[in-house]
Structure 1
Amino acid sequence: MINVERKVESEEEEFKMEIKLLSKDKAKVRVHVKGTTAAEMNTYRRTILDKLPAMAIDTVEFLENSSALYDEMLAHRLGLVVLKTDVESYFIRENCKCKGVGCARCTLDLTLDVEGPCMVYAEQLKSKDPAVIPVHGKTLLVKLLANQKVKLIAHAILSSGNEHIKFSPGIMYYQGYPNIKIADVKSPDAIAGICPTGVFSSDHKKLVIKNKEACTLCMACVDASKGEVEVKGSETEFIVTIEPWGQLTATGMVEGLVDALHEQIDALSEEIKKLK
């Protein structure tokens, strides 16, 4: 007789993942992850890139444009403006009650009305929602000469990288955690100096690992030492970097990742039920 509870507990232990924070700043977060595989890491990477929702300008209505840029060129530049995203306040159009027509629940209007001579920046876009504004205000849109004018209404929507990469809130990338073995190195100073990320230090006699997490597996030390240093990336431990563009925070991206994975698993379960 199989003890179901023990079996579930055993499976939970088997798939238990350990995460340790290595560094965090405004640009990115780096963590050390244990107890997983490259396939699982790649699933997380693709989900962040393709499935997480973010706001971006989708269409532009030009009322006047006498600048040097064609409407299409200026619309393209506007589409790439990174917008701070409030995922709790908006719906993806396909899931909205308006059924994709466009309403205040799924679409946000930003206006621009500028006359030259001047440089026009993203921060000059006026948003109807103060929570959704350009992240990088000094993004240059167009240069206007004297008597040139741009007047437009930009329509921003919530979508994901599956539709267009401009809706992707950032990237995740990973590498195997470095396992480094040092034999009797004949030129420790040279090996320490050749490492581009400062993994090693030397007292002129011995090569010492100073910062293992800084290793990028470039193998410069392996080539230079002719095998005296051995470096290999782990297949069950990884250094993961999450780098947001600005629409969401790194924490928001991780929370969105969990939600997106649950949605995909639920959708798969429903499809499996249809086969029975």
Structure 2
Amino acid sequence: MTMEVDILELSDRSAKFVLSNTSAAFANGIRRASLADVPTIAITEVNIYNNTSVLYDEQLGLRMALIPLTSNMEDFVPKEECSCGDFCPACQVSLTLSAEGPKIVYSQDLVSSDDKVQPADPNIPIADLREGQKIVLEAIAHMGYGNKHSRWQAGVACGYKNMPKVEFSGCDLCGACVTECPVDIIKMGTESAEISQEDMLKCTLCRLCEGVCDIDAIDVKTDEHSFIFTMESDGSYNTKELILNAGNVIKNKAASLAEILSAL
């Protein structure tokens, strides 16, 4: 049984697709890998030299840590795995910020020591500085994984549900299910109520139509081997890269497990 992928929507920041001929375990593996196992670069340390804004130093540090950064991950290794002993361009990137009010400070005001490491969105607000207020700091970014801290979480709002299957048998065309459906996907045909394949994707599996039918003509089920998947990226990867990297994580873990088992 070969897994199939049907792309419904795809953009740089979001995707919606149907995974067919697979298991809930694999679908959940993709979800978990995109959230926790795909590496990113994120700010972990902030050296503040001057801060006369209304934000406490801690608040400023938290805002900096949650700015998604783009990068070429092949150029980096986690700090604890680097052989440099202290820090080097392979495990650490410096981003500086020097701003004076009146102005709103945005992520685009950060100056990176590595041209490939930049804020994923240039218009993330950091602080609103009034006349005479200043922020001068250096932010240090490292590579990491979402399973260690949410600052490294590349995937956001990742989830899936089973493909709905709604079957009609012996329908008396009373129309009660049409009225009851909260997403308005049930239409009345000439011989029975029906739902188009496109509208089936909108079904929330609430089963209100099933409950309102007095003659049990509606059977709401799910396809245990087909899943509607939605995913959003924080911008450190585009959505396609995030999905492919999540798949590669599962592939590499499976290969590693196979090697371990073969050595037993």
Same fold (TM over 0.5): yes
- Tell me which of the two structures has the higher relative contact order, counting C-alpha pairs closer than 8 angstroms and 6 or more residues apart: 2
- Is contact 2:173–2:193 with CA below 8 Å preserved after alignment? no
1:205-232 per-position Cα deviation (integer Å, ceiling 9, x unaligned) = 8533131122232334334446543221
Q: Which moved more, 1:47-56 or 1:252-261?
A: 252-261
- Following the alignment from structure 1 to structure 2, what is the Cα–Cα distance between the partners of residues 156 and 197? 45
Per the alignment, do residues 201 and 246 of structure 1 end up closer, same or farther by CA in structure 2, a change over 3 Å counting? farther
The aligned counterpart of 1:167 is: 152
The count of corresponding residues between Structure 1 and Structure 2 is 259
SS in 2 for 1:214: coil
Consecutive unaligned residues in structure 2, runs of 5 or more? none
Is 1:20 matched up with 2:6?
yes
SS in 1 for 2:201: helix
Is 1:58 matched up with 2:47?
no
Match of 2:220 among 206, 213, 231: 231
1:129-169 per-position Cα deviation (integer Å, ceiling 9, x unaligned) = 33322223222212222211100011111111011012111
Is 1:46 matched up with 2:32?
yes
Identity %, equivalent residues: 29
- Is contact 1:198–1:214 with CA below 8 Å preserved after alignment? no
- Is contact 1:199–1:215 with CA below 8 Å preserved after alignment? yes
- Following the alignment from structure 1 to structure 2, what is the Cα–Cα distance between the partners of residues 139 and 89? 25
The aligned counterpart of 1:69 is: 55
Cα drift, residue 187 of structure 1: 4.6
Is 1:133 matched up with 2:118?
yes
- Following the alignment from structure 1 to structure 2, what is the Cα–Cα distance between the partners of residues 229 and 199? 14
Over the residues paired in the alignment, what is the CA RMSD in angstroms? Answer: 2.5
Q: How does 1:1-276 map to 2 (within 5 A)?
A: 14=1, 16-99=2-85, 101-171=86-156, 172-183=158-169, 184=171, 186-188=173-175, 191-192=177-178, 194-202=180-188, 207-210=193-196, 211-225=199-213, 227-269=216-258, 271-272=260-261, 276=264
- Following the alignment from structure 2 to structure 1, what is the Cα–Cα distance between the partners of residues 53 and 189? 63
- Following the alignment from structure 1 to structure 2, what is the Cα–Cα distance between the partners of residues 78 and 91? 21
- Following the alignment from structure 1 to structure 2, what is the Cα–Cα distance between the partners of residues 266 and 114? 49
Per the alignment, do residues 262 and 144 of structure 1 end up closer, same or farther by CA in structure 2, a change over 3 Å counting? same
- Is contact 1:185–1:229 with CA below 8 Å preserved after alignment? no
- Following the alignment from structure 2 to structure 1, what is the Cα–Cα distance between the partners of residues 211 and 151? 40
Per the alignment, do residues 145 and 181 of structure 1 end up closer, same or farther by CA in structure 2, a change over 3 Å counting? same
- Following the alignment from structure 1 to structure 2, what is the Cα–Cα distance between the partners of residues 102 and 217? 52
SS in 2 for 1:151: strand
SS in 1 for 2:95: strand
Amino acid of the residue matched to residue 87 of structure 2? G
Amino acid of the residue matched to residue 258 of structure 1? G
Q: Which moved more, 1:192-201 or 1:141-150?
A: 192-201
- Following the alignment from structure 1 to structure 2, what is the Cα–Cα distance between the partners of residues 26 and 199? 29
- Is contact 1:169–1:245 with CA below 8 Å preserved after alignment? yes
- Following the alignment from structure 2 to structure 1, what is the Cα–Cα distance between the partners of residues 194 and 13? 30
Q: TM-score, normalised by structure 2?
A: 0.86
The aligned counterpart of 1:6 is: none
